[in-house]
Amino acid sequence: MLVVGLGNPGKNRARNRHNIGFMSVDAIARRHGFPAFRSKFEGEVADGEIGGRRVTLLKPMTYMNESGRSVAQAVRFYRLAPAEVVVFHDEIDLAAAKVRVKRGGGHAGHNGLRSLHAHIGPDYARVRLGIGRPEHKDEVLTHVLKDFAKDDAPWLEKLIAAVAEHVPLLLADDDGAFMSKVVHAVVGLRPRKARAPKPEAEDQPKEDPERGL
């Protein structure tokens, strides 16, 4: 399996909302005893085992909108099918601290996913990690490229830790159990001011050309 976290490189961006994918993959590496990341595929990779199966973790260093270039190199090298790729990414169409797993389908305007679609097609799995949508549409870019607020720390730390702990369920295709375990971990910790998306947005997010970088 290839497990990918999306984000932008650079220490100054490490805590950006857009980098929650990187945060998730780093937590998975720590939780499951992976060795240090090394440079490969225009990204950073680490190889190990999760639940008895070989897994490569990848953080593309190509910037968000070219993520597919790095992922495609890894897919070709390991001779993987798109269905053997799992991608963690930020999702503004989910309220902060929510999580959804989706296999296949559209990219919903997320520029990182758009790049993956262009390079490997749509048939990979993605874990949508909610960061909430700002009040005004013209604030989307600033919202995703800003650091998480201090008030986000309680739910963010629990969410990332739960993702790392329960990722074996995800790799075993038990999406329901994975989501249930992660959601349970952040019960009561969700930010009060998180803006809920429209009811249909969680399952059928619409295109938004202003979303990612």
166 Cβ neighbours under 8 A, 6+ residues apart: 177, 178, 181, 182
- Residue 9 domain-assigned? yes
Residue 213: is its pLDDT beyond 70?
no
**Residue by residue, what is the 3-state secondary structure of 2-42?**
EEEECCCCCHHHCCEHHHHHHHHHHHHHHHCCCCCCEEECC
For the stretch 101-119, pLDDT in tens is 999 999 988 999 999 999 9
Please report where in the chains the tokens 């969680």 appear, as a residue.
202
Residues 163, 183: Cα–Cα separation, whole Å: 10
> What pLDDT is stored for residue 192 in this prediction?
57
- Residue 163 domain-assigned? yes
- Residue 207 domain-assigned? no
Q: Is 34 left (phi over 0), alpha (psi -120 to 50) or beta?
A: beta
- CATH number, domain of 66, equals 3.40.50.1470
For the stretch 109-159, pLDDT in tens is 899 999 999 999 999 999 999 999 988 888 899 999 999 999 999 999 999
Check if the beta carbon of residue 55 is closer than 8 Å to that of residue 3.
Answer: yes
> What pLDDT is stored for residue 196 in this prediction?
43
Please report where in the chains the tokens 């009040």 appear, as a residue.
135
Question: Rounded mean pLDDT of 39-66?
Answer: 97
49 Cβ neighbours under 8 A, 6+ residues apart: 32, 55
Residue 155: helix, strand or coil by DSSP? helix
> Which residue segment(s) compose the domain that 177 sits in?
2-201
- Residue 208 domain-assigned? no
Beta bridge partners of 3: 57, 86
How many CB atoms neighbour CB 128 within 10 A? 23
Please report where in the chains the tokens 């998730």 appear, as a residue.
24
Check if the beta carbon of residue 53 is closer than 8 Å to that of residue 172.
Answer: no
Q: Where are the alpha helices (DSSP H) in 79-211?
A: 111-120, 140-145, 153-171, 175-185
- Residue 213 domain-assigned? no
Counting residues of the chain whose pLDDT is more than 90, the rounded percentage is 82
Residue 82: is its pLDDT beyond 90?
yes
- Residue 209 domain-assigned? no
- Residue 32 domain-assigned? yes
> What pLDDT is stored for residue 108 in this prediction?
85
Residue 177: helix, strand or coil by DSSP? helix
Question: Rounded mean pLDDT of 75-93?
Answer: 97
- Residue 89 domain-assigned? yes
Q: How confident is the model at residue 188 (pLDDT cuts 50, 70, 90)?
A: confident
Active-site positions?
A: 18
Best CA proximity match to 43, nearest among 20, 18, 73, 2: 73
Residue 202: is its pLDDT beyond 60?
no
Residue 201: is its pLDDT beyond 60?
no
Q: Pick the residue with more confidence: 119 or 207?
A: 119
Q: Residue 189 is encoded by which pair of tokens?
A: 């910790």
Residue 98: is its pLDDT beyond 70?
yes
The tally of domains found in the chain comes to 1
